[in-house]
Amino acid sequence: MTDRAAITEAVAAQIEPFNKKGVALTDTTTFQHDLEWDSLTVMDFVAAVEDEFDILITMNMQAEIETVGQLVDTVEKLQSK
């Protein structure tokens, strides 16, 4: 498994408890429209992802992240630092 595939899998595992409607995940799945998350869910989810990967995703970065793929890219970039 590539690093990216492993990160995607780990991100998907973090999404799962918040994916109340069982939406199928792809790189283009959006948090706001497809998963229908509100700002409070986003807060909980981001905290969980940060702890999973031992990184920080600032609110400034979060503003740029709309899809699962973009989140995986961000995690990949932050981990390689």
Which chain residues interact with another protein by CB under 8 A? Answer: 38-40, 43-44, 46-47, 50-51, 54-56, 58-60
List the structure tokens of 70: 């973009």
70/73 Cα distance (integer angstroms): 5
Q: CA 21, CA 81: separation in Å to the nearest integer?
A: 35
Nearer CB in complex with another protein: 12/42: 42
Cβ at position 27, least distance to another protein in Å: 26
Would you say 23 or 43 has its CB closer to another protein? Answer: 43
CB proximity list for 59: less than 8 A, separation 6 or greater: none
What minimum distance in Å lies between the beta carbon of 33 and another protein?
A: 13
User: Residue 22 or residue 81: which is nearer to another protein going by CB?
Assistant: 81
**What is residue 53's three-state secondary structure?**
helix
